[in-house]
């Protein structure tokens, strides 16, 4: 797709070499050729030195007048008509070229190559061949890893970050450095604490994950002109579905069959994807490597054509995870031939293959009668319509809405400040002995900064990263406020040995000590699940020994994606404060300093349960069941079902202020209208099917007064939970809604929740059907509880 200026042919192209060489040899006798050659060399030198790369654009009548007569280039026609015109002009091999991420060009129609694979998990990323950096745009804003942003529980922040990322993506597209289709966000449920990719997700709760999914997608996709049919960039929700194991004790994602009950599928694994499509109007969904109940997700017509496109009405394309089609044939042996694999995936509803399997085997599948050309037309039409909505077929983007964006719009001060603000809002204060934090910058004359993550850069941005605008490490952030001394304590997070003497020495003489420990991508990452929940190596020894030697308060900072069993530190009185900072992004060190020294009042809450090590010793990662099983002692998973001990619980998080809640308004009774003759009028029903006629306008209002009774202004997340009647293996409690409020010292406000009875008070039954449970539902916010009777 991206071709260099101004000749629009690759520098390494043999055609360029063969054209230039004879011209240069004869330039003395040919003035016109000399002029051309001089211009050619000058152009190449400029392009190489500047890093700029001009781009060929489809339907660009200015550079290719022949496209004027093509219907697919006619912007006055509807997308469907334009797509139909384009598909009719293509041969079967050309169509197949548009079934793969490295889509081929069709020069006779003026269509350049297009690379579909770009990533934008928490900023524009260099992962994937569709995006690169140069000296024109050497970096982009790197926000915190998703798990920390989710800890903010701030839906407006999710969307604001998406908006910044899409602006920077468009700016890079305009100078030939990026695509328009981004395979983000990852909205899988963080089911097991050992999962290496949990850091990429919004956590363990289906509602939070759904709100994050829809918010980030809207930020990426929605245009400033409000046109709902067009896209700023195209997002993609992944990995569909029940994907949350990469490589654990010999079981990997390429061979794993996730055995999932219909109940768990409906109320745990599917909601974020459903919200992506229905609430976020996402342009794409990516199917995963794993099988679900014996079928590869990318070859399951029920999951793809049936649910995503049929029930949820996806307006966009379905793409495979990279080489998933190859995996289901070569690793899972799901089909007998590659042609059958190609046919099954296309017929299941797959539109685009990340990889080249469909490029190699689809034509043979058509010739063998396994799939017809109409199915190919349908798939490429979904792909083309997405590109149409992005303006790909509208010529040079400089004449379009975002055409004026460029390098000046990447890494702006406002974008970098938002990265810092996102980290501040996500940081979770887990422990704070009275009078410990915040530290006083004027009282602290010396601060000891210790630990293997105390001065890291790349660790802070996690995976699926780009090149950040700049880094502020924890040490740099703290050193900007007070005088510091530094010892790493361990050479890396593996911490096979600890340099205790040097660390203890600076802790013993400092007014306060900050320990920054945790993990990095060598411990938890894609294709790398953990086998335990302990801090790596000798980190716990380093923490305990330094705390024992410290003269002043000890602040322990855990920089990880997943939870750790830090019970020893929680119970150690010498450790006065504990913060979890996730992987906090490019400005992580500045945000940490803001919290520690009180210029920001912490307000993050844990988006996942922190289990003790004993939990993973008895629970295999391969067991997908969310609900406990008393017959075999299986304890269940996440705060909704697990009743055992935790190190810290979902939603935990302290502040430098205290907040009080008071119920202002909530009904005590809700009656569900039933038509005459309904079976439940004569029978003792415990639940009702969720159907449209029962649910029309059936809602209730819950209003709460929230007051900041502390001495500092701050932000606070109000969680509204429900504990439903105990039937159909319902959750012990689940999140109905959350709202983030900002209050000055002594300030108060009223938070209003609108509860949709059929959507919010229903649960999934054993076969995956939604039911409204009749009886007593207990609503609770903090210590406030309210009983609500639902009846017919």
Q: Which residues are catalytic?
A: 321
As a whole number of Å, the end-to-end CA separation of the chain is 61
DSSP state of 217: H
Token pair recorded at residue 522: 């060598």
- What is the spatial distance between Cα 528 and Cα 665, in angstroms, rounded to a whole number? 48
- What is the spatial distance between Cα 106 and Cα 387, in angstroms, rounded to a whole number? 15
DSSP state of 378: H
Contacts of residue 101, defined as CB under 8 A and 6 or more positions apart, other chains included, come to 115, 116, 117, 319, 322, 352, 353, 354, 355
In this structure, the strands spanning 554-559 and 762-764 are: unpaired
Residue with tokens 């918010």: 215
Contacts of residue 72, defined as CB under 8 A and 6 or more positions apart, other chains included, come to 59, 82, 83, 85, 86, 89, 384, 393
Which of these, 560, 526, 529, 583, lies nearest to 194 by C-alpha position? 529
H or E, element range at 102: strand 102-103
Give the bridge partners for 517, in sequence order. 558
- What is the spatial distance between Cα 316 and Cα 321, in angstroms, rounded to a whole number? 16
**Residue-wise DSSP of 285-340:** EEE-SSEETTEEGGG-TIIIIIIIIIIS---SEEEESTTHHHHHHHTS--SSSHHH
Contacts of residue 526, defined as CB under 8 A and 6 or more positions apart, other chains included, come to 196, 197, 246, 463
743 phi, psi to nearest 5 deg: -135, 135
Contacts of residue 313, defined as CB under 8 A and 6 or more positions apart, other chains included, come to 277, 278
- What is the spatial distance between Cα 463 and Cα 331, in angstroms, rounded to a whole number? 26
- 466 C-beta neighbours (distance < 10 Å), count: 26
- What is the spatial distance between Cα 309 and Cα 626, in angstroms, rounded to a whole number? 27
- Is 167 strand, coil or helix? helix
User: How many Cα atoms are found within 13 Å in the side-chain-facing hemisphere of 97?
Assistant: 15
- Is 485 strand, coil or helix? strand
Which of these, 737, 742, 772, lies nearest to 753 by C-alpha position? 737
Which of these, 705, 703, 708, 719, lies nearest to 743 by C-alpha position? 708
- Cβ 561 vs Cβ 147: under 8 Å: yes
**Residue-wise DSSP of 52-87:** ---B--TT-TTT-GGGGG-GGG-TTS-HHHHHHHHH
CA-derived radius of gyration, the chain: 28
- What is the spatial distance between Cα 159 and Cα 429, in angstroms, rounded to a whole number? 24
Which of these, 80, 71, 73, lies nearest to 58 by C-alpha position? 73
- Cβ 370 vs Cβ 340: under 8 Å: yes
- Cβ 318 vs Cβ 308: under 8 Å: yes
- What is the spatial distance between Cα 365 and Cα 345, in angstroms, rounded to a whole number? 11
Token pair recorded at residue 778: 């207990």
């Amino acid at each position: 797709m991206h071709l260099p200026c101004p000749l629009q042919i690759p520098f390494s192209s043999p055609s360029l070499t063969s054209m230039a060489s004879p011209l240069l040899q004869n330039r003395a006798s040919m003035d016109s050729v000399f002029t051309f050659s001089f211009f050619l060399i000058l152009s190449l030198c400029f392009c190489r030195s500047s890093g700029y790369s001009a781009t060929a654009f489809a339907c660009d009548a200015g550079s290719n007048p022949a496209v004027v007569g093509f219907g697919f280039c006619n912007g006055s026609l509807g997308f469907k008509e334009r797509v139909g015109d384009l598909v009719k002009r293509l041969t079967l091999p050309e169509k197949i070229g548009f079934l793969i991420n490295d889509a081929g060009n069709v020069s006779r129609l003026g269509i350049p190559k297009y690379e579909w694979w770009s990533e934008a998990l928490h900023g524009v990323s260099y992962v994937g061949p569709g995006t690169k950096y140069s000296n024109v745009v050497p970096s982009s804003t790197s926000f915190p890893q998703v798990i920390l942003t989710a800890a903010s529980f701030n839906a407006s922040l999710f969307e604001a970050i998406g908006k910044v990322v899409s602006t920077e993506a468009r700016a890079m597209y305009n100078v030939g450095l990026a695509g328009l289709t981004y395979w983000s966000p990852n909205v899988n449920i963080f089911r097991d604490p050992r999962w290496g990719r949990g850091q990429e997700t919004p956590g363990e709760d289906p509602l939070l994950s759904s709100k994050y999914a829809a918010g980030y997608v809207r930020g990426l996709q929605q245009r400033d002109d409000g046109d709902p049919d067009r896209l700023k960039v195209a997002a993609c929700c992944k990995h569909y579905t029940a994907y949350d194991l990469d490589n654990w004790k010999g079981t990997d994602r390429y061979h794993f069959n996730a055995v999932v009950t219909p109940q768990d599928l409906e109320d745990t694994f599917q909601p974020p994807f459903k919200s992506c499509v229905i609430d976020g109007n996402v342009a794409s969904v990516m199917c995963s490597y794993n099988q679900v109940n014996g079928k590869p997700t990318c070859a399951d017509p029920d999951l793809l054509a049936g649910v995503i496109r049929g029930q949820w009405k996806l307006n966009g394309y379905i793409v495979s995870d990279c080489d998933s089609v190859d995996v289901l044939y070569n690793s899972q042996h799901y089909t007998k031939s590659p042609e059958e694999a190609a046919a099954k995936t296309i017929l299941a509803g797959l539109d685009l293959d990340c990889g080249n399997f469909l490029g190699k085997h689809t034509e043979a599948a058509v010739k063998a009668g396994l799939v017809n050309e109409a199915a190919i037309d349908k798939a490429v039409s979904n792909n083309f319509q997405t590109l149409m909505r992005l303006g790909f077929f509208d010529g040079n983007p400089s004449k379009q809405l975002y055409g004026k964006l460029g390098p000046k719009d990447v890494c702006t001060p406002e974008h970098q400040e938002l990265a810092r603000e996102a980290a501040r809002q996500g940081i979770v204060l887990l422990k704070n002995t009275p009078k410990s934090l915040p530290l006083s910058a004027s009282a602290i004359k010396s601060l000891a900064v210790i630990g293997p993550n105390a001065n890291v850069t790349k660790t802070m941005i996690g995976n699926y990263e780009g090149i950040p605008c700049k880094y502020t490490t924890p040490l740099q952030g703290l050193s900007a406020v007070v005088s510091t001394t530094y010892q790493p304590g361990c050479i890396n997070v593996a911490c096979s040995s600890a340099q205790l003497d040097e660390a203890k020495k600076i802790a013993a003489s400092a007014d306060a000590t900050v320990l920054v420990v945790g993990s990095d991508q060598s411990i938890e990452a894609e294709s790398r699940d953990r086998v335990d929940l302990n801090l790596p190596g000798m980190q716990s020894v380093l923490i305990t020994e330094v705390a024992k030697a410290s003269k002043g308060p000890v602040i322990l900072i855990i920089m990880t994606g997943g939870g750790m069993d830090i019970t020893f530190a929680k119970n150690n009185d010498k450790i006065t404060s504990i913060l979890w900072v996730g992987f906090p992004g490019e400005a992580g060190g500045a945000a940490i300093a803001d919290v520690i020294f009180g210029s920001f009042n912490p307000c993050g809450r844990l988006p996942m349960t922190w289990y003790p090590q004993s939990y993973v010793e008895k629970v295999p990662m391969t067991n997908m069941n969310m609900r406990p099983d008393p017959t075999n002692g299986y304890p269940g998973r996440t705060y909704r079902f697990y009743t055992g001990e935790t190190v810290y619980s979902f939603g935990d998080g302290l502040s430098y202020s205290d907040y009080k809640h008071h119920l202002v308004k909530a009904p005590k009774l809700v009656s569900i209208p039933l038509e005459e003759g309904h079976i439940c009028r004569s029978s003792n029903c415990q639940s009702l099917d969720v159907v449209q006629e029962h649910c029309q306008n059936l809602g209730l209002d819950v209003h709460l007064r929230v007051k900041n009774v502390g001495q500092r202004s701050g932000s606070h997340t109000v969680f509204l939970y429900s504990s439903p009647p105990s039937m159909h293996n319902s959750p012990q409690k689940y999140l109905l809604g959350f709202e983030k409020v900002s209050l000055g010292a002594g300030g108060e406000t009223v938070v209003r929740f609108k509860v949709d009875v059929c959507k919010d008070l229903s649960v999934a039954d054993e076969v995956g059907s939604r039911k409204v449970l009749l009886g007593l539902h207990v609503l609770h916010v903090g210590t406030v509880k309210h009983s609500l009777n639902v009846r017919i």
